[in-house]
Amino acid sequence: EDQVTQSPEALRLQEGESSSLNCSYTVSGLRGLFWYRQDPGKGPEFLFTLYSAGEEKEKERLKATLTKKESFLHITAPKPEDSATYLCAAAGPGGYQKVTFGTGTKLQVIP
Amino acid sequence: GAVVSQHPSWVICKSGTSVKIECRSLDFQATTMFWYRQFPKQSLMLMATSNEGSKATYEQGVEKDKFLINHASLTLSTLTVTSAHPEDSSFYICSARIEGGLYEQYFGPGTRLTVT
């Protein structure tokens, strides 16, 4: 059974304090690894898709990387507006119906 | 691009009544849309996959007669919660996949349903 595990569950950072969020996955034949940001009471906002090990993508202060077993979301010099829950999801060979979501990392950035 | 809307954003209804939630892809066509349910401090739970012009595919444990899904066009899917009960109170979120695209799903803003 496909599994996606995110750690830590919650992370509290001082503004400017860089860190990384982890997403471990056990999906045979990965078709895509996704990162989303979710603010309270809102739907997830798409951030990145990674397709193969070694791939990296960046957007402002965020950089996502992928290995054969895990993905990292690096946050460089975070600001309070980066506070949100970050969700990781993986698509297996079953196609779009086999997207498995992790439980998320709740990030709080303190001014 | 890839904007998905939901209506209403929140709704309160009485036990035993039915509620319809609309999900629209505003700037793209979506053959496939998804309906999720999210409980507080939990991740997304896929309820069903909605395919334009055909019957929805429901996940195990989801009552198809209670959660009616209709995907009438390439830009609209609806979820109707029939004979709602307080335990149906939740945050319902839809997503859509771009026709011809890969596996990314684009999410709507969600609908908060409260059944009294």
Which of residues B5 and B101 earns the better pLDDT score? B5
Most trustworthy range by pLDDT among A67-71, B25-29, B49-53: A67-71
pLDDT at position B42 is 82
Among chain A residues, CA nearest to B34: A97
What is the pLDDT, as a whole number, of residue B99? 73
Q: Does A49 touch chain B (CB under 8 A)?
A: yes
A85 vs A43: CA distance, rounded Å? 11
What pLDDT was estimated at residue A50? 95
With a CB cutoff of 8 Å and minimum separation 6, the contacts of A35 are: A23, A47, A48, A62, A64, A71, A73, A86, A87, A88, A89
The overall average pLDDT reported for chain A is 93
pLDDT digits (tens, 9 = 90+) for B85-116: 999 999 999 999 887 767 788 999 999 999 99
Question: Least CB-CB distance to A42: which of B49, B103, B109?
Answer: B109
pLDDT tens column, A23-63: 999 988 888 999 999 999 999 999 999 999 999 999 999 99
**Which of B35, B40, B44, B39 minimizes the C-alpha distance to B81?**
B35
And the tokens for A50?
């990674």
A96 pLDDT above the threshold of 70: no
CB A48 within 8 A of CB A66: no
Flag if B105 and A96 touch (Cβ within 8 Å): yes
pLDDT band at A10 (very low <50, low <70, confident <90, very high): very high
pLDDT band at B51 (very low <50, low <70, confident <90, very high): confident
Average of per-residue pLDDT values in chain B: 92
A102 to chain B, any CB pair closer than 8 A? The answer is yes
Alpha-carbon gap, residue B107 to B23, rounded angstroms? 10
pLDDT at residue A14 in the model: 98
B44-78 core/surface letters (b: 16 or more CB in 10 A; e: else) = bbbbbbbbbeeebbbeeebeeeebbbebeebbbbb
Chains A–B, number of C-beta pairs less than 8 Å apart: 55
- Whether residue A41 lies within 8 A of chain B, CB to CB, comes out as yes
